[in-house]
Amino acid sequence: MQIKALPFMIPSILLCFICMIVKTFVASQKVINVGFLFLGVIIGLLLIIVHELLHAIAFPKNATVYIGIMPRSLTAVALSSSPVKRNRFIFLSILPIILELIPLVIFCFSSNSLKELNGILLEWQ
């Protein structure tokens, strides 16, 4: 399942790198504190449940949705046997992107001197 998600992850990662490179170039200085990248990773891992809840809330009202972790692949999932239409499936698939866009926008517009916050936000995405 993670291999199938790879084509969707690559543009996200590229966008984050481009934003960091542009911000660093414009500032002409380092804009992140590398020590705070680990804190961003921890926050990102804790938000996995929120990510799956965002998938779950997009299912139809009468759908039973199961949220959990697949032990063999250590993959968080939101599953339902409820049929969904194509447009709803696309919506529920991309809804968690807001968990990436919000910190990315804050990163892009935050002060260059907030290196700790920038480090957290960059890795949180």
Report the pLDDT value the prediction gives residue 109, as an integer from 0 to 100.
Answer: 92
Contacts of residue 40, Cβ cutoff 8 Å, sequence gap at least 6: 119, 120, 121, 122, 123, 124, 125
Unique residue bearing structure tokens 């990510």: 51
Buried b / exposed e over 20-44, threshold 16 CB at 10 Å, is beebeeeeeeebbeeebeeebeeeb
* Banded pLDDT at 18 (limits 50, 70, 90): very high
The overall average pLDDT reported for the chain is 86
Q: Is the pLDDT of residue 1 over 70?
A: no
Condensed to tens digits (0 to 9), the pLDDT of residues 67-119 reads: 988 888 778 888 888 888 999 888 888 888 888 888 889 999 999 899 888 88
Which of 59, 53, 45, 43 lies closest to 92 in space, CA to CA? 59
- The model's pTM is 0.76
